[in-house]
Amino acid sequence: MLCLTCGKLGPDICDFCRANFNAASDRLLDDGLLVRSAFRHEGPARDLIHQYKYRGSDRAGWMLARALIPLLPEGHELVAVPRASWRHLRYGIDPAPDLARRLGILTGRTVVLALAAPLMAHRQAGRKRSARQPAVLRVTSRPRSSVVLVDDVLTTGSTLSGARSALQSFGIRVESAITATARGD
């Protein structure tokens, strides 16, 4: 096996890389939503996310899903924040729903496909944060309990806040959100 983040022969994540995963702090968004993230989006944690999102690494996907388990509050259904379809098609996976599915398998939690992305969205990665608009998500089914949102990377939190307000407008309570990594502010 090769280390997923540096490619050295050895375990999934070698000791050197493992020592350079940094825990992320919890963040409270402006709308009061608590977001807990497993790692800061830097170093080997960022490499691991890239292996998963852009190279489709199944091992990286399971590792990230396992890292989310300790962040899960008791007793809520999981709702992922889907991305616009063009990204899904371009990279082959829609990371947040895929992470939620893996987390559901690992924990037995119910995963509800409650949100759908718009068909088209402007590419946001290269734009200034101030110019970014949260995607308008559609609520497509109703979870039976309050939910925890699942996303891959926390940036400004605007997408999570948009997801929360879409669900809340249907009377669905969002307990908190979890993400694999968090970018620093």
Instruction: Give me the amino acid identity at 104.
Output: G
Q: Which of 3, 80, 114, 177 binds Zn ion (CB under 5 A)?
A: 3
User: Between 15 and 26, whose beta carbon lies closer to Zn ion?
Assistant: 15
116 binds Zn ion (CB under 5 A): no
Residue 58 CB, shortest distance to Zn ion, in Å, is 18
Q: Which of 6, 106, 139, 153 binds Zn ion (CB under 5 A)?
A: 6
Binding window for Zn ion (CB under 5 A); candidates: 14-22, 59-67, 89-97, 153-161:
14-22
DSSP state of 111: B
Taking alpha carbons only, the member of 143, 91, 87 closest to residue 120 is: 87
Burial 21-48 (b: 16+ CB within 10 A, else e): beebeebebeeebebbbbbbbbebbbbb
Instruction: Give me the amino acid identity at 25.
Output: S
Instruction: Judge contact between 44 and 180, C-beta under 8 A.
Output: no
Q: Which of 14, 72, 137, 182 binds Zn ion (CB under 5 A)?
A: 14
113 binds Zn ion (CB under 5 A): no
Q: 3-state DSSP call for residue 83?
A: coil
Residue 49 CB, shortest distance to Zn ion, in Å, is 15
17 binds Zn ion (CB under 5 A): yes
Binding window for Zn ion (CB under 5 A); candidates: 3-11, 50-58, 109-117, 169-177:
3-11
**Beta strands 34-40 and 27-28: pairing type?**
antiparallel
Q: Which residues of the chain form contacts with Zn ion (CB under 5 A)?
A: 3, 6, 14, 17
